[in-house]
Structure 1
Amino acid sequence: MVTTQPQRPNRSRPLPMLLLALVAALTVMLTPGTAGAQSRIKDIANIEGVRDNMLIGYGLVVGLNGTGDTINNSPFTEQSLIGMLERLGVNVRGDTIRTKNVAAVMVTATLPPFSSQGSRIDVSVAAMADAKNLLGGTLLVTPLLGADGEVYAVAQGAVAVGGFSAQGAAASVTRGVPTNGRIAGGAIVEREIDFALSDLPYLRLSLRNPDFTTAMRTAEAINQQFGRNTAKALDPAAVVIDVPMARKADLVSFIRDVEQLRVQPDQTARVVIDEASGVIVMGENVRISTVAIAQGNLTIRITETPQVSQPGPLSQGGQTTVVPRTNIQVDEGADKKLAVMPSGVSLQELVNNLNALGIGPRDMISILQSIKAAGALQAEIEVM
């Protein structure tokens, strides 16, 4: 009997295939600008002409529980109330009005692009005079005007207030801001803004953060997707798109495809400092040259803890006196160290070195300004 061994299948991959797979993996790992660092054009640019419009109006809020304007101190509230009642057929001119349930307010809203007649938008309400609380109030019919003086929406409804205020004979508590509120869907659009998107000869993208590199990358991404000479960067803030003839019939779908393209935005190295709150924000491209930093302040702390000295219970002519006790501490910053940061230090290394010195945000602001004055900070400093 002759027995044969079953042959194992050959699982080895040809050498050229292994090389191709290795090259492909290295290409993916070494390609700059990964998808995680990229943003959609929709998130970094706006289409010029497709924009919001600000609306404003003046109105009255009624139904307040004695927390409205003081009529004697707010003549415009009294005049508005008299005028409104006269339009409703009630004549109170010449009479004394002492109500505290009415407040004069400014009403603001944002009209989104392509809002159709009859649609609803949110409005914000803010007191103008000495009203203490708008809780429980109702906004009366208020026309909302645009920058051209035309009425584009009419607002009315119950005001929702996030804050509250409570007051007693000897104390009061206020949380939030009870003198402003919001009405969700409180305005009805009465006039549409004429804007024909299909009539535009070309599309113009406006970058929210103008930058030459970002503008060029945006134009290159569009040209790569829709063909050469489709887009051109005019300046750091504008990219012009010549819509292909085959896509002009359906401009909305073309804009959708453009918005979904991904671009890696670039930015200028900048350090933003808010001295009022001590907040420091630094971009990832901030670099510094070789510099040595030392931080130490002379701090003198004086503490007064007076003590009372009383005579014994059987002493004659003794007096109770206050004996001063003064404690003086001097901190010369002897524990502070000198740190040397080499050229090209990154943002993370800069923060780590400054934190290692025990430096707080306030001192860090002064150090960054000093580094910039020395010419070692390769970034812009913007003080808010």
Structure 2
Amino acid sequence: MNIVRTLMLALLALVAATPATADRVKDLGGFQGIRSNQLTGYGVVVGLPGTGDDNLEYTVQSLKAVASRFGLQLPPQANPGMKNAAVVMITADLPPFAKPGQKLDITVASMGKAKSLRGGSLILTPLLGADGQIYAMAQGNLAVGGLGAEGADGSKIVVNIPSSGRIPEGATVERAVVTGFDTAPALTFNLQRADFTTAQNVAAAINKRLGGGVAQAVDAVSVSVRAPQGADVRATLMSEIENLDVVAAEPPAKVIVNARTGTVVINSAVRVGPAAVTHGKLTVRIDEKPQVSQPAPLSQGQTAVVPNSTVAVDEERRPMFLLNPGPKLADIVKAVNAIGASPADLVAILEALKEAGALKAELIVL
């Protein structure tokens, strides 16, 4: 434990002593419209070794629909066994600027009672976007990392998740998403984290490189960049902007507490006002040592159990420590560790400092 605390203090001291470094613009956010899009599809996996959905009604309907694509009309009363097939949902991410013919990795997950998709093949399935249009077609053999086995007496074992798998390059892009980056009146750069200072710094860096008035901060997230029309010109301009170095603003002071795991994270902007803190522990211990009372011979007495309790109170003494005005992160952790506070104790101390008005930070409990 002492070694862990020593390493933690050394790391915090190194962070506190490190000056602010510049970040690339591409690491702070991205251009509006240049993003991935989610695709989903509903299909059927066949060729399973008896681990499918059995006779679920919607599985039967799905198999009949697949058969009808090839001109095969099954009788309405037909109810084929479905142990070798399963209905599944397919998901994929369509990256920006993906062109027809490019391949996508897809994830396939069972919707019904299929025990395992191992060994199955996905039948040709369209993948739809949020607008209901088809953007890709999926098909292929599944790679499943999990497995399951079941005995005749009902005992079974399952490793990982056998009802879900992936198909590397299992989908082919059929339609490109229009981003509008080459025709929009201006390019808009959006920060991942809203901050007015960082937005102003990004705009200043762009203007310094490309000339005054080219970029302006619209709000705490967006920076508008005037750019000439044309895909080739704008691609060159965006590449140049993404590689500019910008010093991001210091984040707001926050203390994050995970009450379930006892994890406490304090960023370097946290400051503490003058305060005196003491934290002790009171332990009450009760020991029960019953004794057997044996009567003397011929006394006509009865053997009885006599209770014998010992109660002890132990109050651990810990000295009070003083937090000077405006200590840094390393100083706070060093002061708390000096009294041997556990993560739970640290949470209690931070909550008390917040109530006392001495903690200059937002306290967030997860």
TM over 0.5: yes
8 A Cα contact 1:118 1:188, kept in partner? yes
**Match of 2:178?**
194
Alpha-carbon distance between aligned partners in 1 of 2:194 and 2:208, rounded to the nearest angstrom: 22
Comparing 198-207 with 62-71, greater Cα deviation is found at: 62-71
1:55 maps to 2:8 = no
Structure 1 unmatched ranges of 5 or more? 1-31, 310-322
Q: Is the CA contact 1:289–1:377 (under 8 Å) kept in the aligned structure 2?
A: yes
The percentage of aligned residue pairs carrying the same residue is 38
Greater Rg by CA: 1
- 1:293 maps to 277
**Residue of structure 2 in register with 1:141 after alignment:** 124
Deviations 1:70-117 (A, max 9, x none): 43xx43223222322333315153234333232222111111111111
TM-score after normalising by structure 2: 0.80
* Unmatched 5+ stretches in structure 2: 1-16, 293-304
Distance, in Å, in 2 between the alignment partners of 1:363 and 1:192 is: 55
State the 1:178 CA deviation. Answer: 2.5
Cα 1:332–1:229 shift into 2, 3 Å: farther
The 5-angstrom pairing of residues 331-350 of structure 1 reads 332-350=314-332
Map Cα deviations across residues 190-229 of structure 1 (whole Å, 9 max, x no partner). Answer: 1112234322221111000110111111111111111111
Alignment partner of 1:251 is 2:226? no
RMSD of aligned residue pairs (Cα, Å): 3.3
Measure the CA separation in 2 of the matches of 1:208 and 1:273: 23
TM-score of the aligned structures, taking structure 1 as reference length: 0.77
Supply the distance in 2 between the matched residues of 1:346 and 1:296 (Cα, whole angstroms).
Answer: 24
Aligned position for 1:377: 359
Counterpart CA distance in 2 for 1:64 and 1:233 is 57
Q: CA deviation at 1:295?
A: 3.1
Name the CA distance, whole Å, in 1 between partners of 2:51 and 2:62.
Answer: 18
C-alpha distance in 1 between matches for 2:83 and 2:307:
56
Q: 2:341 aligns with which of 359, 362, 367?
A: 359
Q: Which AA in structure 2 matches 1:114?
A: F
Match of 1:69 in 2: 53
Residues 1:219 and 2:203 are matched in the alignment: yes
The offset of 1:294, in angstroms, is 3.0
CA 153–276 in structure 1, closer or farther in 2 if over 3 Å, else same: farther
Q: How many residues align?
A: 336
Please tell me the residue identity of whatever aligns with 2:186. Answer: Y
User: In the alignment, what sits opposite 1:151?
Assistant: 134
Task: Please name the residue that 2:113 is paired with.
Answer: 130
Separation in structure 1 between the aligned mates of residue 171 and residue 289 of structure 2, nearest angstrom: 63
> Structure 1 residue 189: deviation in Å?
0.8
What secondary structure sits across from 1:253 in the alignment? helix
Structure 1 residue 125: Cα displacement? 1.6
User: Aligned partners of 1:294, 1:95: CA distance in 2, in Å?
Assistant: 78
Q: Relative to structure 1, is the Cα distance of residues 181 and 294 closer, same or farther in structure 2, using a 3 angstrom cutoff?
A: farther
Distance in 2, Cα, partners of 1:164 & 1:244: 56
Q: What's the offset of the Cα at 1:51?
A: 1.5
